[in-house]
Amino acid sequence: MMASLSWKTMAMTVIMVAVSFYMKVVQSSLSLNDRITMLPGQPQVSFQQFSGYVTVDEKKQRALFYYFVEAEMNPASKPLVLWLNGGPGCSSLGVGAFSENGPFRPSGEILVRNEYSWNREANMLYLETPVGVGFSFSTDSSNMVIGDKMTGMFHNYFNYSLMRHIFP
């Protein structure tokens, strides 16, 4: 158990450092194809949002879905928070972004501002992981192996793939 915890802690630390290092690059380079102009029922906002897929295994056609929300003010000077809901099997988008700390909450047919949203102070990156959770996918359902080792591998490759996604 302790070796597994150390490995997980180390992997998450590497990911957080790498993601934080590339934050300014990510912000200025996110694909315009991934930019969200407005979600259905969304109120007007001053910050930008992006979502899309980052391939983590081309051979087995696995891709992770991300939702990125800029900080409300001075996003280039704000930290980046990578949000991963627990599980496995819990959606970071459905739970984290739209129920816990994201910029909006559903209210009937519309979205309302979340007054406690973390993007008031940080840039938020919600990642649907592992493959098979939320909008993340594999074209072959037999490739959807869920476990700590596979999830860690996807997280490491996600960082590499994100940079390739931003700089094709």
CATH number of the domain encompassing residue 148:
3.40.50.1820
The per-residue pLDDT for 63 is 84
Range of the domain at 133: 10-37+46-166
pLDDT at position 136 is 84
Closest by CA to 122, choosing from 12, 13, 20, is 20
pLDDT of residue 55: 80
Report the distance separating Cα 96 and Cα 73, nearest Å: 21
Cβ–Cβ under 8 Å, residues 68 and 125: yes
In a domain, 4, yes or no: no
pTM over 0.85: no
Domain count, the chain: 1
Pairing, β 49-57 against β 62-69: antiparallel
Peptide bond preceding 75 in cis form (omega within 30 of 0): no
Instruction: With respect to residue 1, please indicate whether it lies within any of the assigned structural domains.
Output: no
Task: Give the distance from CA 92 to its chain's centroid.
Answer: 7
Instruction: Answer whether residue 93 is part of any domain.
Output: yes
- Tell me if 3 is assigned to some domain: no
Report d(CA 64, CA 17) in Å as an integer. Answer: 20
Q: Is residue 158 part of a domain?
A: yes
pLDDT in tens, 75-120: 999 998 989 887 667 889 999 999 999 999 999 999 999 999 999 9
pLDDT tens digits for 20-33? 444 443 444 467 78
